[in-house]
Amino acid sequence: MNCWKQKLETELARYPRLAIAFSGGCDSALLAAAARRTLGSANVLLLLADSELLPREEFTRAEKIAEESGLRLEIVHPDPLSDPDVRANGPRRCYHCKKRLFSALAERARELGFPLLADGANRDDRNDYRPGAQAADELGIVHPLAELPKSAIRELARELGVPVWNLPAAACLASRIPTGTPLEQTALAAVEAGERAIAELGYTGCRVRRIGPESARLELRPGEKERAKREFEAIRSRLGSCGFSTVELADYRIGSMNRPVEKG
């Protein structure tokens, strides 16, 4: 593990000052902790993009982690839903959204004297469909974790005392809506409320996918689906209160809404 730590420190030492696109997840939290150790607190700035696509729970957690880290946090409001290409939710939605978010974060970073903005992209991200990565590259965003696998990131985060080292991966609320279905605030609010309701039952890292106006697919982590079958009435009741009259259970799958839901 020391080789990964040394590799990261060597990479970070290249940057006199660094602004970090901060979400409060494992990747950006590790990057913040490592940058603080390598560059010093005065040379690290955290930037959080707040919008309707960010669950309130994640916003609150990011604020708390930033406060505990002792690093300066700036909150930026890029308003991605004002972009028609984002609202249309086409296959390239993530590209347009990240272009807007990273542009806003980079502009604020420059205003505060930080010419470089970094994100938490890692080696495992190359295996997923991430058009937003193109936007980051076009804007000159740097990727200090690019050569580290997720397993090494989690181990380093644990070693450095990052409180979210084992936090399940998160994604914006738009990822719960099928590609091709326009994004609406009411639908985004419904899936967020649904996930919060299911989390209150003790399920972690679940996804409530909106597959129809009143239909949801609850995707669960390994080992939780059998329990969900036994508790299905309670789950259906909770999701019903969020506007979903029909509920189906499925295994969690990254990017499962990247394609439009087929209509039979």
Structural contact between residues 143 and 8, judged by C-beta atoms closer than 8 angstroms: no
- Tell me the β-bridge partners of 74: 47
Nearest-angstrom CA–CA distance, 101 and 65: 21
What local confidence, expressed as pLDDT, does residue 193 receive? 98
Structural contact between residues 68 and 61, judged by C-beta atoms closer than 8 angstroms: no
Helix, strand, or coil (residue 92): coil
| Any domain includes 46 | yes
What local confidence, expressed as pLDDT, does residue 226 receive? 93
SS3 content of the chain, % helix, strand, coil (to 5): 45, 15, 40
What local confidence, expressed as pLDDT, does residue 132 receive? 87
Task: Name the pairing type of β-strands 215-220 and 72-76.
Answer: unpaired
Query: pLDDT under 70 in the chain at which residues?
Result: 1, 127-129, 258-264
Instruction: State pTM to two decimals.
Output: 0.91
CB neighbours of 103 closer than 8 A, spacing ≥ 6?
Answer: 78, 139
Which domain CATH number covers 149? 3.40.50.620
What local confidence, expressed as pLDDT, does residue 259 receive? 56
Nearest-angstrom CA–CA distance, 54 and 23: 9
Neighbours of 154 (CB within 10 A): 19
What local confidence, expressed as pLDDT, does residue 203 receive? 95
| Any domain includes 81 | yes
| Any domain includes 125 | yes
**Tokens 């690019």 map to which residue?**
146
Q: How much is the mean pLDDT over the chain?
A: 93
What local confidence, expressed as pLDDT, does residue 253 receive? 86
DSSP string, 237-249: HHHHTTT-SEEEE
Convert the pLDDT of each residue in 77-88 to its tens digit: 999 999 999 999
**Domain's final residue, options 159, 187, 206:** 159
Same domain, 203 and 152: no
Same domain, 142 and 230: no
Which domain CATH number covers 192? 3.30.300
Helix, strand, or coil (residue 193): helix
Residue-number span of the structural domain to which 237 is assigned? 173-251
Q: Which of 23, 178, 187, 176 is nearest to 101 (CA)?
A: 23
| Any domain includes 264 | no
Convert the pLDDT of each residue in 58-69 to its tens digit: 999 999 999 999
**Domain's final residue, options 107, 128, 159:** 159
Q: Which of 248, 253, 251 is nearest to 212 (CA)?
A: 248
Neighbours of 13 (CB within 10 A): 10
What local confidence, expressed as pLDDT, does residue 151 receive? 95
Q: How many domains does the chain have?
A: 2
Nearest-angstrom CA–CA distance, 177 and 259: 10
